[in-house]
Amino acid sequence: MNKKHFQKIVKGYTSAPINNLYKPTMKLELGKCEIQIEILKKFHHSANSLHGSVYFKMLDDAAWGAANSYIEDVFLFTYSFNIFLTKPVSKGTIKSIGNVITKSDKKIEAQARLYDYSGDEIGHGSGVFMKSKNLLKDAIGFNETRKQ
**For residues 68 and 90, what is the distance between their CA atoms, to the nearest angstrom?**
30
Is residue 124 included in any domain, yes or no?
yes
Q: Which domain holds residue 116?
A: 3-138
51-54: Cβ within 8 A, 24+ apart: 52/85, 54/22, 54/94
pLDDT of residue 144: 59
57 occurs within a structural domain: yes
Query: 97: domain CATH number?
Result: 3.10.129.10
| Residue 146 forms part of a structural domain | no
**Contact 31/1 with Cβ under 8 angstroms?**
no
Q: Quote the pLDDT of residue 146.
A: 46
**What pTM does this model have?**
0.93
The residues of the chain scoring below 50 in pLDDT are 145-148
- Say if CB 43 and CB 67 are below 8 A apart: no
- The pLDDT of residue 3 is 87
Using CA atoms of 104, 100, 25, 45 in order, give the dihedral in degrees to the nearest 10: 100
Provide the number of structural domains found in the chain: 1
